[in-house]
Amino acid sequence: MRRRVWSETVPYDELVRSEVVDLVTRHRLDLLLAVRPWQLAEVGDVVRRFRDRGVFVGLWPMLADDDGRWVNARSTPAFIPFADAVLDAAPEADELILDLEPAKAQLEKWKEWRPTWRQTPSPGRYAEAREELVEATRRWHRDRRITTAVLPLLAFELRGEWVQRAVGTPATALDVDRHSVMAYTSLIEGWSRGLIDRRRAETMLSVCARLARVRFGARAALSLGTVGVGAFEDEPSYRSPVELARDVAIAISAGIDELSLFDLGGMLRRPPAHAWLEAFGA
């Protein structure tokens, strides 16, 4: 079982502190490191700090919010050169992660129950972006592991690309090692406005995990959470490590053998961190 931790909310100067590096090393976690445009000058030193301790490091490029933040059909022209710059800045990294999601502004409306499809790309733009990403991932994959983070909707797609087209995130055509489905039970429950309780959120996680195995086969992975807030700064979080432990058990029972936890910053802000990692099985 491979255990990984997303690191989006920990400032780099805090991340490289001995106690944080020791924590990640001791629990044998893969570090999935977010990289924003203003962090390019620093990321190489951070990666070397962890690689020197034997930690597997994945780079997780994120554009500026005005450029869409995540990878999608509209942001691909900006994302690909940015990912190249990230890899040039930290060539020692072991992996590149493509976070395939609609633009942050669009997801803001979705989570507020104001869905909009106005930003859905045209069929031509979607096809063009898919080919651009196919070529880029083929090139990146020559030297390192490539994975994605994808919306849980994609696990329910089962065949074709109708969901991928609707949300503008080409995934299944890409030459990658894993697709990590972001199945965050705390968000399913917390953003449901009372319609979904914890028990139902766990049921949805189980269904999502099993469908991910059907959709992606051996490439299926899961991201669990959340322990703390992320891009929206208001994400509902686990009440305690007990809920995380239950999610881990559900994922394992579905046959998932690679799990990522969102995120390291939440664990550090809600000590003791080792309690979360024990619940995570790390």
Determine the average pLDDT of the residues in 132-146.
98
Nearest to 132 by CA among 80, 187, 198: 80
pLDDT of residue 108: 79
Signed CA dihedral, 19, 1, 186, 72: sign only: positive
Q: Read off the amino acid at residue 12.
A: Y
Q: Which residues pair with 33 in a beta bridge?
A: 7, 59
Tally the domains of the chain: 1
213 is in which domain, residue-wise? 2-280
Mean of the per-residue pLDDT values of the chain: 96
Q: What is the pLDDT of residues 160-198, one digit of tens each?
A: 999 999 999 999 999 999 999 999 999 999 999 999 999
pLDDT of residue 105: 81
Number of other CB atoms surrounding residue 57 within 10 Å: 23
CA distance 27 to 92: 21
Here the CATH number for the domain that contains residue 255 is 3.20.20.80
> DSSP for 13-28?
HHHTSHHHHHHHHHTT
Determine the average pLDDT of the residues in 205-219.
98
| pLDDT surpassing 80 at residue 110 | no
Read off the pTM. Answer: 0.95
> DSSP for 119-158?
TPPPHHHHHHHHHHHHHHHHHHTTTSEEEEEE-GGGGGT-
Q: Which residues pair with 181 in a beta bridge?
A: 150, 222
Do the Cβ atoms of 5 and 227 come closer than 8 Å? no
Nearest to 215 by CA among 153, 138, 147: 153
User: Confidence class of residue 119 from pLDDT cuts 50, 70 and 90?
Assistant: low
pLDDT of residue 211: 98
CA distance 268 to 59: 20
Nearest to 79 by CA among 157, 174, 221, 180: 174
Q: Where do the DSSP E strands lie in the chain?
A: 2-7, 30-35, 57-61, 95-100, 145-150, 178-182, 220-225, 258-262
